[in-house]
Amino acid sequence: MLRTRRLRKADGIRRLVRETKLSVDDFIYPLFIEEGTNIEVEIPSMPGINRYSLDTISKELDEVVALRIPAVLLFGIPSKKDDEGSETWNDDGIMQQAIRFIKEKYPSLYVITDVCFCEYTCHGHCGIIENNDVVNDATLVNLAKQTISHANAGADMVAPSGMMDGAIAAMRDALDANGFVNLPIMGYSVKYASAFYGPFREAVDSAPSFGDRRTYQMDPSNRDEAQREATFDDQEGADILMVKPALSYLDIIRDLKNNYDRPIACYNVSGEYAMVKAAAEKGWIDGERVMMESLLSMKRAGADIIITYFAKEAAKILQDNRN
Ligand code: PBG
């Protein structure tokens, strides 16, 4: 008889035939850094995840480094906002201060910056507004300024999350013209207009004050269009292509893995984190196992890199070899 169960009989053989393995090397850990002092505030819908000011963040960074997580993704929360988000290219802005602080104190940690405007604009949209919509090309000019400011502060990689057309090209041109030819770009290439971002928007106070993001982020119904987005980013020179969110978009991750010879990242977003934490808190699921199984599914789908709020917890489990 044809039998598949023979290779499942014992832990030893299961380990030998295991196809996908998670490693701490897969993870990028997002950090929320707020302008001010003495801030360490837990995000209510994201238990275990805090907003920190630079004077309180060291113990978090110590842990990240001790767990050998290779990289962090920084989000800045400024104390002042305006219509165009001009704090994003202030060389003394919170993001720039954070980059300098981390690169000085933790030189081995790879620092990736989120390049966007929504946390920095009064209206909460990802660029300049005209006629109740984000204007693409004028936003690119500011995007280039923000990118160079992050690069000057010492960022190792930049990641535009605003879904403007031509963002990768605009950033690549600006970086190359300013001597940053070796600074890579991770494109939020396929980013859907998703309800799974809810807790994040609460965390960084970036919910749009009117309308929504459907004129720039992708329609969750579309799979072919994801290829188009990825092709444009690939042609414009994105070094890594990302899919966001992750769990409801595993098909898209696999498509990109099959069709592009670039590393593929996925973003296991705030709502995905919140759901696991909430159900675990109620005792309805085994939170640790669901966490590991979800992360594994992203890797199995084809993600080479996983951006996740679970990075520290998962790294601990991998370290103890408990998975
Ligand atoms: C926008 C941005 C968002 C996230 C990362 N960058 C939210 C949005 O597009 O509204 C979401 C991250 C998450 O939910 O964990 N700059």
Give the C-alpha separation, 217 to 18, whole Å.
Answer: 36
User: Does residue 186 belong to any structural domain of this protein?
Assistant: yes
Ligand 1 atom closest to Cα of 309? 15
User: Does residue 44 belong to any structural domain of this protein?
Assistant: yes
User: Does residue 14 belong to any structural domain of this protein?
Assistant: no
CA 236 to chain centroid: 20
User: Does residue 102 belong to any structural domain of this protein?
Assistant: yes
Using CB distances shorter than 6 Å, the residues near ligand 1 are 114, 116, 118, 161, 197, 200-201, 206, 213, 269-270
DSSP letter string, 4-33 = SGGGGSSHHHHHHT------GGGEEEEEEE
User: Does residue 81 belong to any structural domain of this protein?
Assistant: yes
User: Does residue 7 belong to any structural domain of this protein?
Assistant: no
Percent of the chain with pLDDT over 70: 99
Q: What's the number of domains the chain is made of?
A: 1
273-305, pLDDT tens digit by residue? 999 999 999 999 999 999 999 999 999 999 999
Percent of the chain with pLDDT over 90: 96
> Which residues, 6 or more positions from 320, have their beta carbon under 8 angstroms from its beta carbon?
none
Whichever domain contains 251, its CATH number is: 3.20.20.70
CB 290 within 8 A of CB 280: yes
User: Does residue 3 belong to any structural domain of this protein?
Assistant: no
User: Which pLDDT band, with edges at 50, 70 and 90, does 203 fall under?
Assistant: confident
Range of the domain at 281: 19-322
Give the C-alpha separation, 205 to 34, whole Å.
Answer: 11
Give the C-alpha separation, 26 to 24, whole Å.
Answer: 5
269 CA to centre of ligand 1 in angstroms:
8
56-102, pLDDT tens digit by residue? 999 999 999 999 999 999 999 999 999 999 999 999 999 999 999 99
Q: Is the pLDDT of residue 204 over 90?
A: no
Out of 158, 200, 294, give the residue to mutate to test ligand 1, the one with the largest number of ligand atoms within 8 Å of its CB.
200
**Least confident among 20-29, 128-137, 258-267, 292-301:** 128-137
Indicate whether this model's pTM tops 0.85. yes
User: Residue 205's pLDDT is what?
Assistant: 84
In the chain, where do the E strands start and end? 27-34, 40-42, 50-52, 71-77, 110-115, 129-130, 133-134, 157-160, 186-191, 240-244, 264-268, 305-308
User: Does residue 1 belong to any structural domain of this protein?
Assistant: no
201 CA to centre of ligand 1 in angstroms:
7
